Chains A and B, each alone.
Chain A
Amino acid sequence: MKPSVKVPFVNLGLQYQNIRTEILAKFDDISSRGAYILNEDVTAFEENFAAYCGVKYAVSVGNGSDALVLCLHALGVGPGDEVITAPNSFIASAWVIARVGAKPVFADVRADYNIDPAKVREAVTPRTKAILPVHLTGRPAAMDELTEIAQKFSLFVLEDAAQAIGAKYYGRQAGSLGDAGCFSLHPLKNLHVHGDGGMITTNNQELFNKLVLLRNHGLKNRDECVLWGFNSRLDGIQAAIANIKMKYLGEWTRRFRAIAERYTQALRGLLNVPSDLPHEESVYHRYVVRSDRRDALQAHLAEQGVETKVNYPIPIHLQEVCHGLGYQRGDFPIAEQLAGEILSLPIYAEMDDGQVDWVIEAVKNFHSGGA
Chain B
Amino acid sequence: MKPEGSKTGSVHHNFLPEQYEKSSQPRINHNYLKEQFSDYKEVFKRLETLLETGDFTLGRAVDEFETKFAALTGTRYAIGVGSGTDALMLSLKALGIDKGDEVITTPYTFFATIGAIVTAGARPVFVDVREDYNIDPDGIQKAITKRTKAILPVHWAGLVADMDPIQATADKHGIEIVEDACHAITATYKGRLAGSFGATGCFSMHPLKNLNVWGDGGVIVTNRADLHEKLVLLRNHGLLNRDYCAVWAYNSRLDTLQAIVANHTMEKKLPNIGESRIRNAAYLDKALSGIKQVKIPPRQLHQRHVYHLYGIQVEDRDNLLNYLVAAGIDAKVHYPVPMHLQPASREFGYKAGDFPCAEEICRSVISLPVHEFINEEHLKHTAFKIREFYE
Report A's interface with B, CB cutoff 8 A: 10-13, 16-17, 20, 23-24, 27-28, 30-39, 42-43, 46-47, 50-51, 56-59, 62-66, 79, 90-92, 95, 98-99, 101, 186-187, 194-196, 205, 208-209, 212-213, 217-233, 235-238, 310, 312-314, 316, 319-321
Contact = CB atoms under 8 A, between A and B. Distances in A.
B72 to A, nearest CB: 22
B54 interface: yes
Contact of A186 (B9, B57, B121, B342): B57
Interface in B324-368: 333, 335-337, 339, 342-344
B344 A227 contact: yes
B85 A228 contact: no
A36 B242 CA distance: 32
Closest 10 CB pairs of A and B: A12-B54, A235-B215, A195-B255, A34-B33, A231-B85, A228-B118, A34-B34, A31-B40, A65-B251, A187-B56
B247 A312 contact: no
Contacts of A62: 82-83, 216, 251-252
Contacts of A316: 245
A32 B214 CA distance: 12
B272 interface: no
Contacts of B251: 62-66, 92, 196
B194 to A, nearest CB: 20
B56 A224 contact: no
Contact of A95 (B36, B50, B207, B237): B237
Given A58-B8, A187-B54, 16 more contacts: A13-B52, A24-B44, A34-B36, A34-B37, A35-B16, A36-B207, A37-B206, A47-B7, A95-B238, A217-B115, A226-B342, A228-B344, A230-B85, A231-B86, A231-B112, A321-B238
B115 A27 contact: no
Nearest to B362: A223
A44 B239 CA distance: 34
A42 B14 contact: yes
Given A58-B10, A320-B246, A34 B56 contact: no
B11 A220 contact: no
A91 B245 contact: yes
B249 interface: yes
Contacts of B33: 34-36
Contacts, number: 230
Given A43-B14, A56-B9, A232 B1 contact: no
Question: Is chain B's interface secondary structure helix, strand, loop, or mixed overall?
Answer: loop
Nearest to A236: B215
Nearest to A35: B20
5 contacts: A31-B214, A220-B1, A224-B342, A314-B243, A321-B245
Contacts of B10: 43, 46-47, 50, 57-59, 208, 212
Interface of B: 1-3, 7-11, 13-18, 20, 31-34, 36-37, 40, 44, 47, 50-54, 56-57, 82-86, 99, 110-112, 114-115, 117-119, 121, 206-207, 214-216, 237-239, 243-253, 255-258, 333, 335-337, 339, 342-344
Given A34-B31, A57-B8, A223 B337 contact: yes
A314 B244 contact: yes
B15 A217 contact: no
B8 A47 contact: yes
Greatest chain B CB density within 10 A among A10, A42, A92 is at A92
A86 to B, nearest CB: 15
Given A27-B44, A91-B239, A95-B238, A205 B82 contact: no
A80 B215 CA distance: 36
Contacts of B8: 46-47, 50-51, 56-58
B84 to A, nearest CB: 8
A194 B52 CA distance: 11
B3 A195 contact: no
Contact of A36 (B53, B85, B119, B215): B215
Given A218-B111, A224-B342, A235 B255 contact: yes
A348 B18 CA distance: 41
Given A57-B10, A63-B251, A231-B86, A217 B257 contact: no
Contacts of A34: 20, 31-34, 36-37, 207
B237 A65 contact: yes
A289 B237 CA distance: 26
Contact of A39 (B2, B20, B56): B20
Contacts of B16: 35, 38-39
B99 A79 contact: yes
Nearest to A321: B245
Contact of A16 (B17, B54, B86, B333): B54
Nearest to B34: A34
A51 B10 CA distance: 11
B255 A196 contact: yes
Contacts of A187: 54, 56-57
B40 A27 contact: yes
Contacts of A66: 251
A13 B51 contact: yes
A224 B251 CA distance: 27
B217 to A, nearest CB: 9
Greatest chain B CB density within 10 A among A66, A90, A222 is at A222
Contacts of A310: 243
Contacts of A32: 34
Contacts of A65: 237, 250-251
A321 B9 contact: no
Contacts of B249: 95
B215 A228 contact: no
A284 to B, nearest CB: 20
Contact of A226 (B36, B54, B121, B344): B344
Given A38-B14, A46-B10, A56-B9, A16 B52 contact: yes
